[in-house]
């Protein structure tokens, strides 16, 4: 067992595979000697050298496109974008190229590539550096989408992401990089298998990324009122562990979905719709969703906190459906 930060765990996941497989390499803006904008690749340049940990110009389109070409021809690239927001600059390469190649070419080219995407708010980075674009990514067939909430999950999921033959979008919450946690297991966590972060019997809270921690705080608060919350972390948004959600709803019959995205059109809505379509008979109450207000993320601390969802919102949502 080892204590590690979320950022260190992501680095350890990448480093484990790089030590084993020389076809794994990392590139992105300032990932080399500088160690990455959030320090996630710190030390990797020294360990693996400039051939395998490569600084790119500020050109998001070619960073993603280069990963596509490299993955199609035998490498396993990990491309880092500084912020998920910059994905908009390279969206053709992701949506029309990476996501389509395997299917559109009849399966004879696959793309084992990972794109690392620091997401989320809470650090006063304002509207162009704070978004949660989960819905954009999960909407596109051909991509897999991972969003770890703990160091243990970050490490295990990174190993699986690198091993996967499809393009995996690895969302990291930038406000969690320094958060420490225990890492017991250094083996891959399969994509598509969620985790119960807290057992409970009255309501199922399905939360992702940093919202897992908000949900856990809310659950601790609600326990004081005698309300027992089960907190589920799907860990991967696609593939989604529907089975885990179903099993939990069989016990609790109530669902609250918590996501940091702007609520309108967010992936939380997709989970909600899936539950309505497939597990409606398990529900004793309407599904509640918690998300950010439908505005860009503001700069001022008080405004940002007002816009982003938090444990208090989760508490209200749970009470609202009990």
Of 148 and 192, nearer to another protein (C-beta) is 192
Shortest distance, CB of residue 237 to another protein, whole angstroms? 13
DSSP collapsed to 3 states, 44-104: HHHHHCCCCEEECCCCHHHHHHHHHHHHHCCCEEEEECCCHHHHHHHHHHHHHHHCCHHHH
Task: Say if strands 255-262 and 288-292 run parallel, antiparallel, or are unpaired.
Answer: parallel
| Catalytic annotation present for 129 | yes
Q: How many CA atoms lie within 13 A of 19 on its CB side?
A: 8
Of 61 and 265, nearer to another protein (C-beta) is 61
Residues that bind another protein (CB under 8 A): 23, 25, 51, 54, 56-57, 59, 61-62, 64-75, 77, 92-93, 96-97, 101-109, 141-142, 144, 166, 190-193, 239, 241-243
- How many Cβ atoms from other residues are within 10 Å of residue 51's Cβ? 8
Shortest distance, CB of residue 22 to another protein, whole angstroms? 9
Q: Which residues pair with 28 in a beta bridge?
A: 55, 80
Shortest distance, CB of residue 247 to another protein, whole angstroms? 12
Please provide the distance, in angstroms rounded to a whole number, between the alpha carbons at the two ends of the chain.
39
Shortest distance, CB of residue 194 to another protein, whole angstroms? 10
Give, as one character, the DSSP assignment of residue 265.
Answer: T
Of 134 and 313, nearer to another protein (C-beta) is 134
Of 163 and 221, nearer to another protein (C-beta) is 163
Q: Residue 162: which residues within 8 A CB-CB, separation 6 or more?
A: 13, 14, 17, 24, 76, 78, 112, 114
Of 66 and 149, nearer to another protein (C-beta) is 66
Task: Point out the catalytic residue in the list 129, 173, 213, 253.
Answer: 129
Rounded to whole angstroms, how far apart are CA atoms 94 and 87? 8
Shortest distance, CB of residue 284 to another protein, whole angstroms? 27
- Both structure tokens of 307: 């816009």
List active site positions: 129
């Amino acid at each position: 067992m080892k204590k590690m930060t979320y950022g260190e765990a992501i680095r350890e996941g990448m480093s484990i595979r790089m030590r084993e497989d020389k076809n794994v390499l990392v590139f992105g803006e300032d990932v080399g000697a500088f160690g990455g904008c959030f320090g996630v690749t710190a030390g990797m340049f020294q360990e693996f050298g400039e051939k395998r940990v490569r600084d790119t110009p500020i050109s998001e389109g070619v960073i993603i496109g280069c990963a596509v070409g490299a993955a199609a021809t035998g490498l396993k690239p990990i491309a880092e974008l500084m912020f998920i927001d910059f994905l908009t600059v390279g969206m053709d390469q992701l949506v029309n190229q990476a996501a389509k190649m395997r299917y559109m070419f009849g399966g004879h080219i696959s793309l084992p590539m990972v794109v690392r995407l620091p997401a989320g708010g809470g650090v006063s980075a304002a509207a162009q550096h704070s978004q949660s674009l989960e819905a954009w990514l999960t909407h596109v067939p051909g991509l897999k989408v991972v969003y770890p909430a703990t160091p243990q999950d970050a490490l295990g999921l990174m190993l699986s992401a690198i091993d996967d033959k499809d393009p995996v979008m690895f969302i990291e919450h930038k406000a969690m990089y320094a958060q420490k946690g225990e890492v017991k297991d250094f083996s891959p966590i399969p994509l598509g298998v969620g985790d119960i972060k807290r057992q409970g019997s009255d309501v199922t809270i399905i939360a992702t990324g940093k919202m897992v921690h908000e949900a856990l705080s809310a659950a601790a608060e609600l326990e004081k009122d005698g309300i027992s919350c089960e907190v589920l972390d799907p860990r991967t948004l696609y593939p989604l562990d529907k089975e885990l959600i179903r099993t939990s709803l069989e016990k609790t019959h109530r669902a609250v979905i918590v996501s940091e995205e702007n609520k309108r059109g967010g992936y939380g809505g997709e989970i909600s719709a899936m539950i309505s379509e497939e597990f409606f008979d398990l529900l004793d109450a309407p599904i509640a969703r918690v998300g950010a207000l439908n505005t860009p993320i503001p700069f001022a601390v008080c405004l940002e906190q007002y816009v982003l969802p938090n444990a208090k919102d989760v508490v209200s949502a749970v009470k609202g459906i009990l």
